Structure 1
C-alpha cells in the first residue's frame, strides 16, 4: 500500500510540473513575456494554484532550454538577446520555417486551410483596426504561423520550430505588444495574405517566399527599433 501511494504521489508531481512548464512555455513562445522581464515564482505558483516545487521544476527545465535564466541574485528572468544571436536565430528560422511552409503547401487540406485563413482574418482585423487589440494581434500572428507549420504534417519539425520560438518569441513580439506601429508599418498582413494564397494554390515556392519576406521584414523592424543590445 505505502509503495503504491508513493508511486501515485511521484506521478502527480511530475504531471503538475509538466503542466506548469507547458503554461510558461506557451507564454514565451507567444511572446507574452518580454526580454528582461523577471518572474516571481511565488506569483506563478499562486496564479496556477500550485506549490512552489512544480514551479521550480518547470523553471529549471526552461533554464536548460535557454528560455529563462537565473541571475546572480537568484532572480529568474527572460534572457535579453543581443543582435548577433537574433540574426543567427533569424537565419535558422528562415531555413526551417521556410521548409515547413513548402511542405505545408504540398500537403495541407481544406481543414488546414480553413484554420489558417481564420487566424489570418483575425490578424488582419487587428492590423487594419484604428485601435487594434495588440495582445490579440500577437496571438493571431503566432496561431497563424503554427497552423501553417502544423499543416506540413511533420510533428518533429513543429517541435524544432517551437524550440526556436521559445527563445526568440519574446523578442519577436515585443514591439507588437507595446505599439501599433509595427502592425501598421511591418507589412506582416500583406505577407500573411501572400502566404495563405500560396498555400491555397499549392505553390511551395511562393509559400516560402512569403514566409521569408515576413520573417526578414519583422527582423529588420526589430533591429531598427534599437531594442537589441549590440
Structure 2
C-alpha cells in the first residue's frame, strides 16, 4: 500500500469543523442576540461555503443546547428566561469554582503576570472603538478565565465549562449592553480581585471574586427581566 492510498479524504470533515468552530466562537462571545434566527442559506453565504457543513454544524449546536431548532427548519438563539438564567449561573459558579480551587496551588508568578497582562488588554478593549469592543473584550475575558481553568488540568471539567459558556452567549451580549448603560464598577473589577486572591493563596476570597464576576452579568439581566420594554428584545 502506498502512502497516498493510506490517507483518507478529510476536506469535508475539516470544513465542517471549521464552520462549527466559527459558529461556536461567535455564539460563545455573544455575537448573536437572544431570539435571533439563524438560517442555513444565510450562514452558508456569509461563510462562503455550501449548506451541508452549515446544516451539520447547526445540528451539533442544537444538541449542545446553544441553539433551538424550529419547525421552519431555522435555528434560533434561545430566548432569555429566568429559569435558564438561574440554572446557568448556578452551574457556572459550581464548576468554575471547582476549577479555580484546583488551579490555585498550580499557578506561579509567571502566570499571575500573564493574567495581569490579559486584564490590562481587556481594559483597553473596553475603551476601544464600539465596532470591535464587544468582540475583543469577550475574547480577552474568555482568555483570562480559561488561562486559570486550564491550570487545573482537568480533562473532564473543561469541556463542561466550554458548554456552559456556549449556552451563556446571549446573556453575555445582553449584560454587556446593560453594563454600558449602568457604568457602575469597571468591567475588570473582579478580575483584579481574583488575581490578588490567587496570589495570596486565599481560596475563599478567590471563589468570592469569581462568583461575583460570574453572577454580575446574570444580576444585570435579572433586574431587567420584568421590564415590559425588554420583552420584545429576546427576553422570555
> What per-residue deviation string (whole Å, max 9, x for no partner) do you get for residues 100-139 of structure 1?
1122221123443233222211223345x49763333233
| Match of residue 101 from structure 2 | 102
* Distance verdict in 2 for CA 1:190–1:203, change over 3 Å: same
Q: TM-score, normalised by structure 1?
A: 0.85
**SS of the counterpart of 2:86?**
helix
Deviation at 1:168, TM superposition (A): 1.4
* Distance verdict in 2 for CA 1:118–1:42, change over 3 Å: farther
* Distance verdict in 2 for CA 1:221–1:15, change over 3 Å: same
- Structure 2 stretches of 5 or more lacking a match? none
**SS of the counterpart of 2:35?**
coil
* Distance verdict in 2 for CA 1:156–1:229, change over 3 Å: same
CA distance in 1, matches of 2:205, 2:175: 27
> What per-residue deviation string (whole Å, max 9, x for no partner) do you get for residues 159-206 of structure 1?
110011111122123231576225x22554221110011222332222
**SS of the counterpart of 2:8?**
helix
Deviation at 1:36, TM superposition (A): 0.9
| Root mean square deviation, CA, Å | 2.6
1:114 aligns with 2:113: yes
- Contact preservation (8 Å) 1:138, 1:176: no
- Contact preservation (8 Å) 1:103, 1:152: yes
- Contact preservation (8 Å) 1:188, 1:218: no
- Contact preservation (8 Å) 2:67, 2:77: yes
- Contact preservation (8 Å) 1:134, 1:177: no
Q: Please show how residues 46-57 of structure 1 align to structure 2 within 5 Å.
A: 46-57=45-56
Higher mean alpha-carbon deviation, 167-176 vs 203-212, is at: 167-176
| Match of residue 61 from structure 1 | 60
- Structure 1 stretches of 5 or more lacking a match? none
Equivalent residue pairs, number: 224
| Match of residue 71 from structure 1 | 70
CA distance in 2, matches of 1:178, 1:131: 18
| Match of residue 91 from structure 1 | 90
| Match of residue 208 from structure 2 | 209
CA distance in 1, matches of 2:187, 2:143: 14
